[in-house]
């Protein structure tokens, strides 16, 4: 699993993690599709990027760095999970 990315265990955010949060906060200003921008900026597939982002937003370092963004992403994730659960129960 050579593409796997690890999160920092220190009190500060790793540079790449900070760049990911900065990108997530402003990707919509890019003139290219998000998936293409992810590949160009981070050399990650969009799947790996989102896996890493989901781990990242659960860290206190990410919350301290970009609290509004992290809270919004957590809320959106929870809404998607609730919608999936509802579909399974009622589908």
Domain count, the chain: 1
91 falls within a domain: no
71 falls within a domain: yes
35 falls within a domain: yes
User: pTM (2 decimals)?
Assistant: 0.79
68 falls within a domain: yes
pLDDT per residue as tens digits for the range 56-87:
999 999 999 999 999 999 999 999 999 988 88
Residues 29, 15, 71, 78: what is their CA dihedral angle, to the nearest 10 degrees? 90
21 falls within a domain: yes
For residue 18 the two structure tokens come to 């900070």
pLDDT per residue as tens digits for the range 11-26:
589 999 999 999 999 9
For residue 72 the two structure tokens come to 């919004």
4 falls within a domain: no
State the residue range of the domain holding 68: 14-85
HSE, side-chain direction, 13 A CA sphere, residue 70:
17
For residue 30 the two structure tokens come to 């890019």
9 falls within a domain: no
């Amino acid at each position: 699993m050579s593409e796997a990315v690890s999160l920092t265990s220190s009190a500060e955010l790793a540079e790449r993690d900070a760049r990911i949060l900065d990108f997530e906060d402003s990707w919509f200003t890019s003139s290219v599709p998000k998936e293409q921008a992810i590949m160009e900026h981070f050399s990650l597939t969009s799947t790996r990027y989102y896996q890493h982002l989901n781990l990242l937003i659960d860290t206190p370092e990410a919350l301290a760095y970009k609290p509004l963004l992290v809270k919004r992403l957590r809320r959106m994730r929870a809404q998607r999970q609730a919608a999936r659960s509802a579909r399974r129960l009622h589908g």
